[in-house]
Amino acid sequence: MAQTAANEMPAASGRGRLVTLWILQGLAALAFLSAGGSKLGGGEEMVAVFDKIGVGQWFRYVTGLLEVVGAIGLLIPRYAFYAAALLAIIMIGAVITHVAILGGSPLPAIFLLILTGAIAYLRKP
């Protein structure tokens, strides 16, 4: 019986893996387009959150822009790995910010961190 390398997928599961990956990327892109759009649009809740963080509203714009650019990048196969890695880094910052400054549950940020981390791992060049 032939063995496959640890990072190779059997041919039969390649199509299912790709479909699953595209679904995950689409869901993550929608989540980050929504979150980034809310930040860029100046939603009251986002303005209040960034006031509480205390670094200024410019940081809301930078974060929102990075989230929107990352969301678009997730939908372009050539850039999906880099977009997912960028978004995972942003989510690490979000988890730390929730725990250290904002309070409340960091679970949504943790979920998005796991999701973008998985996408980055599966899309690594």
Global pTM reads 0.85
Q: Where are the domains of the chain?
A: 18-122
Q: What is the pLDDT along the chain (125 residues), one digit of tens a residue?
A: 455 444 554 444 688 889 999 999 999 999 999 999 999 999 999 999 999 999 999 999 999 999 999 999 999 999 999 999 999 999 999 999 999 999 989 999 999 999 999 999 999 98
**Burial category of 36 from C-beta neighbours within 10 Å (exposed 0-12, middle 13-18, buried 19 and up):** buried
Beta carbons of 108 and 28 less than 8 angstroms apart: no
- The pLDDT score that the predictor gives to residue 101 is 95
